[in-house]
Amino acid sequence: MSGTGTLTLTELKLFLRDPASTIVTIALPVAIVVVFGVIAQPNGNKDPIMTYFPTMALALGLAQLALNLTPTTLAGYREKGILRRMSTTPMNPAKVLTAQLAISFGLAVAAAVMVVLVGHLGFQFTLPAHIGGFLAAFALGCTALFSVGLLVAAIAPSARVATGIGVGLFFASLVFGGVFMPAENLPPFLVRIGDFTPLGAAMQSLRASWSGTMPEPLHLAVLGAYTIVAGLAAARLFRWE
């Protein structure tokens, strides 16, 4: 196994030793689908509102992972001097970043699979009807949100500050992104703001693909823009010590 692979496996073991992280990342989205499955009893109902429940669970778990867990972990490594010490070994800090991103993306995929399977097999939520659109929305949603999370990690001097910024962005994203409440029930100006936030664009793209249509070009473009701009900014500003 390569050095990066070994490091990724080690980081994954460290992650799984923290029950709270596992619960937030995977168990919470699944629990949300179960709760709303019991309440809504979809049974194959194709009402557009039914696309809200599984996509909300996915978006919530992805936002927690990208905006809270990832930046706090990386900022903590910098604060404790782990990255600085690793820079003197063949296992350089860049490989830590690669390992963290690989784990985060893998966990996001695992959570998505669990939400789709539990929702469909357990409560007959419909499956995403536009597979290509769903994959595009999910992939771009991941890259956009992880880029924002890495930017937080880049500018935060400590894990505590990273947590504070991440939590603030997390709750703001839930309000403006149509996660707390379906977009149909939000004032139009909030929906419009949400169109230009990474979580809002991801949420609307996932809902569109779930109902059988390709996500709007605007939403995909917003996700792509966040990926490029926040990603480049994070790479430029990130400090290993």
Beta carbons of 36 and 29 less than 8 angstroms apart: no
Distance CA 57, CA 65 (A): 13
Distance CA 8, CA 147 (A): 19
User: What are the backbone angles phi and psi of residue 196, rounded to the nearest 5°?
Assistant: -110, 15
Q: At what angle do helices 93-117 and 3-16 cross, to 10 degrees?
A: 50
- Start-to-end CA distance of the chain, whole Å, equals 28
Q: What is the pLDDT along the chain (241 residues), one digit of tens a residue?
A: 566 677 778 777 777 777 777 777 888 899 999 998 998 888 877 788 888 999 999 999 899 999 988 898 888 888 888 777 776 666 666 677 777 788 888 889 999 999 999 999 999 999 999 999 999 999 999 999 999 998 998 888 888 999 999 999 999 888 888 888 888 888 888 889 999 999 999 999 999 999 999 999 999 999 999 999 998 888 888 887 7
Sign, CA dihedral 178-104-84-229, equals negative
Given a contact cutoff of 8 angstroms between Cβ atoms, the answer to whether 202 and 144 are in contact is: yes
- Check residue 89 and give its pLDDT: 67
CB-based contact 150:71 (threshold 8 Å):
yes
**Where do we find the tokens 């039914």?**
50
Which stretches of the chain are DSSP H helices?
A: 3-16, 19-22, 28-40, 52-63, 70-79, 82-86, 93-117, 123, 131-155, 159-176, 188-194, 198-210, 217-237
Whole-number Cα distances in Å, 61 to 57, 69, 79, 80, 199? 6, 11, 26, 27, 11
User: What does the pLDDT read at residue 17?
Assistant: 77
Which residue is it, tokens 């595009």?
136
